[in-house]
Chains A and B, each alone.
Chain A
């Protein structure tokens, strides 16, 4: 119930194309859904995040679409660039019974944008 399922495992996109990564969850207690970007040799960095009271959030070329009823959310990267090549993790967070915030990560998507 704590899992966040992420797909695809890897994605290859041409420069200028749209990259789409999908995630699904079961636990309705999740109330914060961030996406992290990780370059080789670096730690993950927060890219964009959404709360379940909105259906979409856009920051530059990055958009999160959120479907609360389907318990799914996705990351869209518009006009994908070779510099976007990285591993992307979706995550979901909630406050547990002890009032501690739990953060669960998806399995990751390795994105390659071809020049």
Chain B
């Protein structure tokens, strides 16, 4: 299993500003995943972050808008840049620590509201 701490748990931000979300895991993991969950919607993968390499972004998400850092095997950050109200969402960090990379664990999420 894995315990994931995400900070902040929620924030209200002005449009045009940026917010960095932190994700700390209690064990070393190869890959960390960032998801977006819009209100009442499912989870959409933003990017996969591997330690020591550039993050891999899914279609519709770009590095300039969602830069990711992965400085070590237990920590990652996601920045939401130049925010607009459309970025209001829950952002979730996830890991899959099992050897077969099947079981996903999630942080509690960061609820972002852009005004």
Q: Which of A42, A43, A105 has the most CB of B within 10 A?
A: A43
Interface size on B, residues (CB 8 A): 22
A105 in contact with B42 given A32-B102, A43-B92 (CB within 8 Å): yes
Interface stretch of the complex, out of B13-21, B66-74, B106-114: B106-114
Q: How far is the CB of B64 from chain A (nearest CB, A)?
A: 23
Q: What separation, in Å, do the CA atoms of A81 and B104 have in the docked complex? A: 25
Chain A interface size, as a band, is 20 to 34
A46 in contact with B105 given A89-B43, A107-B42, A108-B42 (CB within 8 Å): yes
User: Taking CB as reference atom, which chain A residue is nearest B4?
Assistant: A43
* 5 interchain residue pairs of minimum CB distance: A43-B106, A101-B101, A105-B43, A105-B42, A107-B42
